[in-house]
A and B are shown apart, each in its own frame.
Chain A
Amino acid sequence: MTKVEAIVQPSRFEAVKEVLTELGIGGMTISDVRGHGRQKGHTEVYRGREYTVDLLPKIKIEIVIPDNLVDAAIDAILQSASTGKIGDGKIFVSKVDQAIRIRNQERGVAAL
């Protein structure tokens, strides 16, 4: 099992969700997050006052999937989340040792 975490632009979230659902990946955890990578922040002026946009809004999608779906999922995210601009986000991939469904204590891929 593999955990894929994708940090994407809020505006690309619907597209990413759609392609993952098409792949049969229905279960996902979504969070509103803020942060910055190389995109860094920038300074804006509003009514004469400066304010810094240092943490930019992003959406984090977390999915845990069987290993055979990982490449397809990553490709799908790359295609649907990319605008070609800085700030498009990142994907983190990591191994998962175990998954347990709390309701019936199923384990492994069956619990996904």
Chain B
Amino acid sequence: MKLESRNSSLHDLFTEESARIQQRFEDSADGKADIRDRTSLIDTVVIALWNGVAAVGGPVDGFCIAALGGYGRRGLFPYSDIDLLFLCEKEGREEFLSKKAIAPLSQSLWDLHLRVSPTTRTLAECGKLHRSNIEFNISLLDCRYICGDEKLYERLRTRVLPGVVIRESENLMQELTGLARQRHQKYGQTIFHLEPNIKDGPGGLRDYQVACWLAQIAELKRSREWKEPAQLLPAPLRADAANAIDFLDAVRCFLHYRQGRDLNVLTYELQREAALRGIGLRAGQSESPNDWMRAYFRQARAILRLTTSFDEVPRAKSFWSRLAGARLSPLSTTDFNVTYGRISLHKPDSVEDANVMFRLFELVGQDDLKLMAETENAVEAALPRIQKWLSTAPDLWMYFRRILALPYAAAALRAMHRVGLLDLLFKEFRAIDSLVIRDYHHRYTVDEHSFVTIENLHSLASKNDGFDRRFRDIRATLEHPDLLYLSLLFHDVGKGMPNESHVEGSLEAVQGVFERLRLDSVSREMVTFLIANHLRMSATLLRRDIFDPEAVHDFAKVVGTVEHLKMLTLFTYADIKAVNPEALTPWKAEMLWQLYAATENYLNRSVDDQRMYLAGEDARELERLIPTGEGAGEADRFRNFLDGFPRRYLLTHSPGEISAHYRMYKRLGHSDADISITKRDQYYELVLATQDRPFLFTKLTGTVASWGMNILKADAYANKNGIALDVVRFADRFHTLDNNPPEIVRLKQQLMAVISGELDVSILMRRKFQPEKRPPKVNVETRIHMDNECSSHSTVVEIVTLDRPGLLYDISSTFAEHGFNIEVGLIDTEGGIATDVFYVTQNGAKLTSARQQELQSELQHRF
């Protein structure tokens, strides 16, 4: 009777106090104060009930009540369970205690509508590891005395728990991190969810607790002392983590109060309300939902950084792998140790050297490794030195492009972003740090979206089926993939800028990036093109009929060259796919590829018709290319040089290259031909300017092949006045020119002799040509396709076959022997497959079908 009346007054107290606490939260949105006050309130209630029990039934020895879990940490959220431990000294008294204390107390708490999770254990049970209920062992780490036999609690706290934690520390840590990994797996290993679970999701409250528990276990093992876990977290991360926890505490209180239940999913609707009230923000000011979610993702990222330590706990291993021990990975170097996929530094300050710093992230990008927490700290500490190094204007592009090209470049970029290095190198990137595009399509923040685009392209390398395979094949043929990755990294930075159009903003921002990377003008042009047009291909897909030749023609006009097209196609593929994992449906991927194929065909099959003429509307464009400072006579000569060249020539060559070609053209007045040979990255480029004549292309390709060179690409053009300009890229198979640079002069001389007719190319081929002796790596069926429709005055012959030295000589000599003239030739080699397109005429007209058949059988015979 006495207990019941006490319960009634307790109920009133609890109801009033709960209402007061809630009201204070509504006024102040202070989550920390809320959970602290609520914990105190429950303490008051439990103690009062316990006193009532003791008053009715007399003193109870060898028994106490402790708070566990969140309640034990003094962090009880409005609708969280109240975890209570009823601790008995010895076995055999449970029934007596249950009747006398546990049952009446629990019942009274339930009568107050509190969700109690009671656990009754003896001291001995608390000292064991419970593999089937590891959560109990973990909850004991947060236990706190409430009432009852205080000495008993002290024995638990000072002897029993340290004993079990120290003895089972390895098991506890493995179980804890194992559960965390499972939890992360369940949430797709990412903090980026449209409606995140702020308790269990990655970067949520549970991750923070796991980090605290791991730190506490390690500290108990080291010193046998209980310390405040937040103070045991890595010092560089502590302040950010504390802010993040304040934020999440407030948000969780808000979610509980709004939903009246222990629901922790931050739904779309509640995001809007939380933003309006500025929940978790310092001044509690109103924010737009986008900005508020940006704040949320920043806090979640701060918590996620704590999880780096999770992977440093070795996983539970088999007997044999335990026997083998923690071996250093062969990836370890003189600067870095790699163990269990994580990198540590031999000397923490070594990363103050920029070379070591970039090598560290190259290692991440090469093998998808992670940095150990101490490595991340060392990198952060070294940033001021890197900033100093940047002021010396180093060749940053050389370092950065190496990272971009690596198979796990996105992992390296994420790591660089996390420790602040990326933002230090490119302040432009800060504009999109955790920036949210809050709609049902965009899953990731803008910075993460940019990383995912790069990840999408690199992961193509391992795709062997479905539509991905087609895009993989395109990627394998890119000349400058690094520029594509660079464009992807910065294509959306404008979203964080005040510009009306984000594309304009990105183009503006990328100028600073160009300066810092000291990119050449051709690279700048490519990156600018990609960013400026990055929405164009998807717009064409969705707003134009891609089977309409007019739509393809318009799109091709914007794209200009096949290299631009390839880059833009892959850009679009990566960009759509990075909106969310399902955004690039097979339907859209098919449309994208169809548009790519149609435009590629158009660009290759319309070269002959797409010419620049002085008399036409191209005059103004040609005017722009005239070298500055030239006199009127010179300008006329320059116009004559370009008059009638295919547009493709202007699109595939930089103004600098065109100037160089023009100088060669001018020298033709003094000699029959002018030849230049230049060493590029992986190949040589030969340019020949001369008066067009029969067998010219055959002579050129035959001479180059006879020297053992393998032609990779070639463009053959002629202007209106019959001046031929052939550009050939070849690989030096036997390193003849690499090892003997003076041989370049001899190759030029021999080519001059062949062109002038002093030397017979067929004799050269017979004497010097060395065919490939190794069997081909791939089998390619030869396909010859002839088309009399796509060009107005040439027959287009497209040949796809296995590449081999001398192939181009065989093809071009076949044409020449039949009296066919090559108007334009586009030669390409991709992964051992030659794709050669020729615009061929005979006596200035297209080939008749009889001549086409004749050519087809002759070519088939030669292959």
Assembly CA distance A10 to B800 (angstroms): 33
User: How many Å from the CB of A83 to the closest CB on chain B?
Assistant: 7
Measured between beta carbons, the chain A residues less than 8 angstroms from B547 are 53, 56, 87
Q: Which of A10, A14, A47 contacts B541 (CB 8 A)?
A: A10
Q: Please determine whether A32 and B601 come into contact, CB atoms closer than 8 angstroms.
A: no
Q: How far is the CA of A33 from the CA of B590 in the complex (A)?
A: 12
Interface residues on B, range: 20 to 34
The 3 A-B residue pairs whose C-beta atoms are closest, nearest first, are A48-B800, A48-B783, A32-B587
Chain B residues with Cβ below 8 Å from A11 are 542-546, 551
- In the bound complex, residues from chain B placing their C-beta under 8 Å from that of A87 are 547
Residue-wise interface mask of A (38-77) relative to B, using a CB-CB cutoff of 8 A (1 in contact, 0 not): 0000001111110101001100000000000000000000
- Chain B residues with Cβ below 8 Å from A53 are 547, 594
Given A46-B601, A49-B800, does the pair A57, B587 have CB atoms closer than 8 Å?
A: yes
Nearest-neighbor residue (CB-CB) of B545 within chain A: A11
Min CB distance B233 to A, Å, is: 45
- Measured between beta carbons, the chain A residues less than 8 angstroms from B785 are 45, 48
Q: How far is the CA of A72 from the CA of B565 in the complex (A)?
A: 42
A33 to B586, alpha carbons, bound, how many Å?
10
Note all chain A residues with C-beta closer than 8 A to B544.
11
How long is the Cα–Cα vector from A10 to B544 in the complex, in angstroms?
8
Q: How many whole Å from B304's CB to the nearest CB in chain A?
A: 35
Q: B800's contact among A34, A47, A57, A85, by CB below 8 Å, is which? A: A47
Q: Does B799 contact A (CB under 8 A)?
A: yes
Report whether B541 and A48 are in contact in the complex, using a CB–CB cutoff of 8 Å.
no
- Distance in angstroms between the alpha carbons of A45 and B598 in the assembled complex: 9
User: Does chain A have a CB within 8 A of B177?
Assistant: no
In this complex, what residue of A is CB-closest to B591?
A57
- CB of B585 closer than 8 Å to a CB of A: yes
A side interface size, CB within 8 A: 21
Q: Which residue of A lies closest to B828 (CB)?
A: A47
- A13 contacts across to B, CB distance below 8 A: 542
Name B584-608 residues within 8 Å CB distance of A. 585, 587-588, 590-591, 594, 597-598, 600-601
Establish whether residues B545 and A47, one from each chain, have CB atoms under 8 Å apart when the complex forms: no
Min CB distance B235 to A, Å, is 52
B89 CB within 8 Å of chain A: no
Q: In the bound complex, do residue A9 and residue B545 qualify as a contact, i.e. CB atoms below 8 Å apart?
A: yes
Q: How far is the CA of A33 from the CA of B585 in the complex (A)?
A: 11
- Chain A residues with CB under 8 Å of B835's CB are 47-48
Instruction: List, sorted by A's number, 20 A–B pairs whose CB atoms are closer than 8 Å.
Output: A9-B545, A10-B541, A10-B591, A11-B542, A11-B543, A11-B544, A11-B545, A14-B543, A32-B585, A33-B587, A44-B597, A45-B601, A47-B800, A48-B783, A48-B784, A48-B800, A51-B597, A53-B594, A57-B590, A83-B545
Cα of A81 to Cα of B541 in the assembled complex, Å: 16
- Tell me the smallest distance from the CB of A111 to a CB of chain B, in Å: 22
Q: Which residue of A lies closest to B540 (CB)?
A: A11
Note all chain B residues with C-beta closer than 8 A to A32.
Answer: 585, 587-588
Is B598 a contact of A44 with CB atoms below 8 Å? Answer: yes
Which residues of the partner chain A approach B585 to less than 8 Å between Cβ atoms? 32
Q: What are the residues of chain A within 8 A of B542 when measuring CB–CB?
A: 10-11, 13-14
Q: Which residues of B contact A45 (CB under 8 A)?
A: 601, 785, 798
